[in-house]
Structure 1
Amino acid sequence: MGLITAAIPFFLLAVLIELTLDRWRGWGLYRLNDAIGSLGAGILSRILGLVKVGILMLLYIPLYQWLEPAYQSLGIHWSLENPWHLVLAVIAYDFCYYWKHRVSHEINIFWAEHLVHHQSEDYNLTTALRQSSDLVPLGWIFYLPLLLLGMPPEVLITAGAIDLIYQFWVHTQKFPKVRWMEWILVTPSNHRVHHAQNKTYVDRNYGGILIIWDRLFGTYQEELDDEPCIYGVRKPLNTFDPLAANLQHFKRMWLDAVYTKRWQEKLTLWFRATGYRPADAEAAMPVASSDLNNFRRFDPQIDRGLRWYALVQHLIYSGATLALLSNAGNFSYASLALMVLMLVIGLVVNGRVLDGDARCRYWELGRLALLAATLPLLPTGTWLPLIGYCLASAITWWVLVFMHKDDTVTSVRN
């Protein structure tokens, strides 16, 4: 089990503690739909990782093995048992992460992958778990220079996990500025700036653990007392569907490439500055940006029973994901892929339920019927619990939707 997978239960416990404090103190940091949308994106990222090939290791390991004699002749030797080696590895990794993160904000195709992490219009610990699924993986490019240091793959993986785990805690609004920390480390304050879409804050503070890279390379911005952060992206997602979240910018670039008449534009728009669109495509298919002077979060109101249903389904998907991550080695690739597919469909439909999409009236029943139909293809040990799950979910859904009585929840304060 990797460090990140092992840390997931602690992440969820921290989310639960912050949520409890939020409800007790009345902070208003959490909305059910946004939290499930973020956590759903995180689940999607982890489960797709079970059926994808990790390009970084696919390239890094053979290159390292090819260069290993040169490392040995130079006396380069890294050890995870040496704490100073690990500290140096994390610093080197964080430097590469800074440039990867910065380019992810500055070039269209890289932004298409990273955008997912910024779509939430709330800012709490669930935002940290809102991760891209790397449908078009490109970030590996930035870590290949670590071969110049002779860094072994296992050291790289460990340093990367530490870097990512550290970033979890900075996604909170309730940790104040600590002056000495702001000069050295990424903190909740300077990372709030990074997630804000205010003109003053946009595209700043890219560091993972160390903020000194931003100070060195001119991308640092302090959080200002008179400029409250407005979270989210300029072109809002407006859905809690995690698959749509991963496809948002890719879809826009693809439509622009199909529509624009110039071949030069079709080929180069992917690698132009973030937000660049061919003039003819933009004129024909305008996309409105957020009005930050009158900003309102995407917050469709649905029946209270459906909100509870979506929450229970999300908790079931979370439990299934943890079980799958822990026992992936016990399943054939075909069984694993099928279980991942069923979870993906569930996450998509659950997100659309929270959107208030009327088509979910039948989509959810269709999902449950499809899951029941795939039982013969799944391990026999899953049959009984899945049959019970399908029956209970179908009956509950039928009562909530087809025997419906209006019980809409009150609006959430924006």
Structure 2
Amino acid sequence: MSLVTLAIPFFLISVLVELALDRWRGWGLYRLNDAIGSLSAGVLSRITGLVRTGLLLVIYIPLYQLLQPYYETVGFNWSLDNGWHLLLAVVAYDFCYYWKHRIAHEINIFWADHLVHHQSEDYNLTTALRQPSGGLPIGWIFYMPLLLIGLPAELLITAGAIDLIYQFWVHTQKFPKVRWMEWIFVTPSNHRVHHAQNKVYVDRNYGGVFIIWDRLFGSYQEELEDEPCIYGVRKPLNSFDPLAANLQHYKRMALDAWHTKSWWDRLTLWFRRTGYRPADAEAAMPVPSCDLDNFQRFDPQISRGLRAYALLQHLIYSGATLALLWNAAQMSYGQQLAAVALLACGLIVNGRILDGHRLAGYAELARLALTLAAVPLVSAGLSIALAGYILLSALIWWWLAFIDKEDTVAVVSD
């Protein structure tokens, strides 16, 4: 089991602690819909990881074995048990991560995947868990230089997990600047800058663990006291559906390629600077950027009952996801695929409920019917629990979506 999977309970406990403090102190850092949207993207990322093959190790390991004679000649002898070796591996990995992260902001096709992590218009620990679900498998390219120093796959995997886990804690607004840390490490302060869409902050502070790369390569920006961060992306998603989140920029590029009359643009816009759009496609389908002077977060009005239902369903999906991740090794690929499909369907529909989508009522009924079809496929004990869950959910949902007309909650805006 991966270090990241083992860290999930710690992540969730930390979120609950920050949420409790937020409610107690009245900070206003959390909104239910945005938090569920971020967590749903994270859940979708983890479960789809079970059924897709990462190309990094598929390519890295054979090349490492091919270069083994070179490593023996040079004298590379890395060991996971050596603490200094692990530290050097993290530094080397983070250097590669910096360039991967930087390119992810600068090239359309890479931004399409990374964009998911930046869509949240809030900034709290749930934002850290907002991760893409794979996109095009091209990120592995940036870690190939680690073959030059003979870094074995087990150290690559461990260093990558450490790099990712470290980045969790910097997604908070309530940790102040610590001057000495700002020079060496990625901190909450300099990472808040990275998530802001203010002009002065855009495309800055790419490091994962170490901020020294940004200082060396000219991409560092300090958080300014007179320039509060406005979080999110300039062309907002305006949905809490994790599938829509993952497809947002791919869809926009595909539509641009369809509408432009230039074959050169059709072939190259994917690899052009982030935000590039052919002039004729932009004229046909204008997508306005946020007005930062009058910025309002996406916060659709739905009833308290629907909000409570969405929260309950998300908690159920989260519990099912943890069970799936912990027991995946004992399941066949077909069983994993079916479980992932059902969970993904639930996350998508739940996002549409929070959006207040006009078809969400029928979509949830369809999801419950689809889940009912899976009851005969599970064990007897689990089938009873699953059937009970479906029946209870259907009754509550029918009441909330088609009978009850409770007042909607007020819109929250900045």
Q: Which amino acid aligns with 1:392?
A: L
> Which residue is equivalent to 1:185?
185
Q: Which amino acid aligns with 1:121?
A: E
Distance in 2, matches of 1:280 and 1:268, equals: 15
> Which residue is equivalent to 2:411?
411
> Which residue is equivalent to 1:324?
324
> Which residue is equivalent to 1:95?
95
TM-score, normalised by the number of residues in structure 2: 0.99
CA displacement, residues 54-74 of structure 1 (integer Å, 9 cap, x when unaligned): 110111111111112221222
> Which residue is equivalent to 1:195?
195
RMSD: 0.9
Q: Give the drift of 1:386.
A: 1.2
> Which residue is equivalent to 2:214?
214
> Which residue is equivalent to 1:114?
114
Contact 1:335–1:379 under 8 Å retained in 2: no
Distance in 2, matches of 1:99 and 1:171, equals: 20
Distance in 2, matches of 1:195 and 1:138, equals: 23
Q: Give the drift of 1:331.
A: 1.0
> Which residue is equivalent to 1:368?
368
Contact 1:98–1:206 under 8 Å retained in 2: yes
The share of aligned pairs that are identical, in percent, is 73
Contact 1:112–1:249 under 8 Å retained in 2: yes
> Which residue is equivalent to 1:46?
46
TM-score, normalised by the number of residues in structure 1: 0.99
Distance in 1, matches of 2:319 and 2:363, equals: 22
Contact 2:185–2:212 under 8 Å retained in 1: yes
1:301-316 alignment, distance < 5 Å: 301-316=301-316
Q: Which amino acid aligns with 2:363?
A: W
1:278-317 alignment, distance < 5 Å: 278-317=278-317
1:211-250 alignment, distance < 5 Å: 211-250=211-250
Distance in 2, matches of 1:36 and 1:404, equals: 23
Contact 2:297–2:412 under 8 Å retained in 1: no
> Which residue is equivalent to 2:60?
60
After TM superposition, the structure 1 stretch with the greater mean CA deviation from structure 2, 331-340 or 85-94, is 331-340
Count of aligned residue pairs for this structure pair: 414
Which 5+ residue runs of structure 1 have no aligned equivalent?
Answer: none
Q: Helix, strand or coil for the counterpart of 2:77?
A: coil
Contact 1:335–1:377 under 8 Å retained in 2: no
Distance in 2, matches of 1:377 and 1:71, equals: 50
Q: Helix, strand or coil for the counterpart of 2:67?
A: helix
Q: Which amino acid aligns with 2:103?
A: V
1:13-162 alignment, distance < 5 Å: 13-162=13-162
Q: Which amino acid aligns with 1:393?
A: S
Taking structure 1 as reference, are residues 119 and 386 closer, same or farther at Cα in structure 2, changes over 3 Å only? Answer: same
Q: Helix, strand or coil for the counterpart of 2:275?
A: coil
Distance in 1, matches of 2:379 and 2:99, equals: 44
Contact 2:201–2:221 under 8 Å retained in 1: yes
Contact 2:125–2:169 under 8 Å retained in 1: yes
> Which residue is equivalent to 1:170?
170
Distance in 2, matches of 1:56 and 1:381, equals: 40
Q: Helix, strand or coil for the counterpart of 1:275?
A: coil
> Which residue is equivalent to 1:394?
394
Distance in 2, matches of 1:32 and 1:183, equals: 35
Q: Give the drift of 1:48.
A: 0.3
Contact 2:40–2:130 under 8 Å retained in 1: yes
Q: Which amino acid aligns with 1:175?
A: F
Q: Give the drift of 1:381.
A: 5.1
Q: Give the drift of 1:375.
A: 2.5
Q: Give the drift of 1:413.
A: 4.8
Distance in 2, matches of 1:380 and 1:66, equals: 50
Taking structure 1 as reference, are residues 246 and 379 closer, same or farther at Cα in structure 2, changes over 3 Å only? Answer: farther
Distance in 2, matches of 1:389 and 1:67, equals: 54
> Which residue is equivalent to 1:382?
382
Q: Helix, strand or coil for the counterpart of 1:49?
A: helix
Q: Which amino acid aligns with 2:238?
A: N
Q: Give the drift of 1:392.
A: 1.0
Q: Which amino acid aligns with 1:192?
A: R
Q: Give the drift of 1:409.
A: 1.9
CA displacement, residues 260-287 of structure 1 (integer Å, 9 cap, x when unaligned): 1111110000000000001110000000
> Which residue is equivalent to 2:354?
354
Distance in 2, matches of 1:19 and 1:395, equals: 30
Contact 2:299–2:413 under 8 Å retained in 1: no
Contact 2:296–2:413 under 8 Å retained in 1: no
Q: Helix, strand or coil for the counterpart of 1:95?
A: helix
Which 5+ residue runs of structure 2 have no aligned equivalent?
Answer: none
